[in-house]
Structure 1
Amino acid sequence: MQSIDNGRTIFQESFGKVEIIIPYKKNWFTILFLIVWLGIWVSAELAAVAWVINGERDLTLVFSLCWLAGWTIGGLSAIRTLVWMGIGKEIITLEQGVITIRRKGLLLAKAKAYYLNEAKHFQVLHPDTEPDNKLGRLQNPFEAYNAGMIRFDYGMETVKFAENIHEAEAEYILAKLKDKKLLTDKNFTYEY
């Protein structure tokens, strides 16, 4: 018999402040793959650095430096992804009329804050009808700045959060925020 999934969302409440914490769902195959790949990456990186330092000074040096720069960026991207998958969590804070979305553990990401009275049309993404988000999951860590199962309009921008959770859990989050009167009917309407 299938066990019941009660979700990963953690609610913390204190004096007019609600914090929603969503730990990143670990994909162990990808984590193990990245660890192995990074082992190979480090070996190639060190060999390339040694070759550039000890190599001849001709046109191959220019190619080697360009290759090394690209290889370094690729490795740093893999490290960023690995850290996010290993310890990442999304923290959504609602207090004093502001919603703040922070990706803790996502290197080089900074928190973004939005006034709730300007946030409209809160809704759950339905992955089967969303061409840009078929699985409702993070495909690329650089998309994490605006990925998730819940979205709202903020002026001419669409903001997404609550990444890598199921629709039912996203519906639960919105219902709970509405029950606590942190989101009102005005936040769910589509008017400009």
Structure 2
Amino acid sequence: MHISASNERFTIAEGATETSVRVPSFKNIFFILFIGAWLVGWYLGETSAIRTLTSGVDDANRTFTMFWLAGWTLGGIWAVITIAWQLLGYEILTIDHHSLTQRIEVLGIGINKTYRLQDVRDLRTAPYNLSVFSNQKVAMPPLFGAGHGAISFDYGSRAIFIGASMDETEAKKVIAAFQRFLPQVPKAFAT
């Protein structure tokens, strides 16, 4: 059996003042189908609870239904965001002479995390398993915490992880593209 080499799933745009990498989210068809089916049930539960609350019937369980509906609605929002991330999401990594920025974006709407480049140390690859069954974080957008991904760096006393949908080989190519912006620390002072 002949196996062809795969192409990168990301694009690199190198300019005079910055380099930007656009990485599509990792797609897991099982996860997308499962959450999509779950959303059908979610919709039925949501509309049923809303009908119960707006029917005007004085129900002894009204308070419980209101709290349940609030939690159920948050669960639905999480599911929609997760599917949107899976289908339409991008992680955009941009480096210039002053900062390294990670943008998590779906349809142009996103969140930026910007790190001062002078505080970024030891940009490196971090072995990472993209299997949703062994690491379910990859199925969701990396919005909170230090992140997860194939690229890591020290930032103060924390290790930060970016490049959630990359594998180690892709991460090496991105790090190589970022090298010209990284401050050169003499080996005697490297931590």
The question of a shared fold, defined as TM-score above 0.5 by the shorter chain, is answered with yes
Q: 1:60 to 1:107 in 2, by over 3 A?
A: farther
Residue 153 of structure 2 is matched in structure 1 by 152
Partner SS state of residue 94, structure 1 = strand
Residue 131 of structure 1 is matched in structure 2 by none
Distance in 2 between residues matched to 1:89 and 1:158, nearest whole Å: 22
**Which stretches in structure 1 are left out of the alignment for 5+ residues?**
129-133
Contact 2:142–2:164 under 8 Å retained in 1: no
2:79 is the alignment partner of 1:78: yes
Residue 119 of structure 2 is matched in structure 1 by 118
Contact 1:9–1:22 under 8 Å retained in 2: yes
Deviations 1:27-50 (A, max 9, x none): 122112222221221121011100
Residue 164 of structure 1 is matched in structure 2 by 165
Q: CA deviation at 1:150?
A: 0.7
Residue identity over aligned pairs, in percent, reads: 28
**Which stretches in structure 2 are left out of the alignment for 5+ residues?**
none
Distance in 2 between residues matched to 1:135 and 1:190, nearest whole Å: 34
Q: 1:187 to 1:61 in 2, by over 3 A?
A: farther
Residue 141 of structure 1 is matched in structure 2 by 140
Greater Cα offset, 61-70 or 51-60: 51-60
Residue 53 of structure 1 is matched in structure 2 by 54
Partner SS state of residue 6, structure 2 = coil
Amino acid in structure 1 at the alignment position of 2:43: V
Equivalent pairs, count: 185
Residue 96 of structure 2 is matched in structure 1 by 95
Partner SS state of residue 79, structure 1 = helix
Q: CA deviation at 1:90?
A: 0.4
Partner SS state of residue 100, structure 1 = strand
Q: Which has the higher contact order (CA 8 A, sep 6+)?
A: 2
> RMSD of the alignment, in Å?
2.8
Residue 37 of structure 1 is matched in structure 2 by 38
Q: TM-score, normalised by structure 2?
A: 0.84
Q: CA deviation at 1:72?
A: 0.5
Contact 2:26–2:139 under 8 Å retained in 1: no
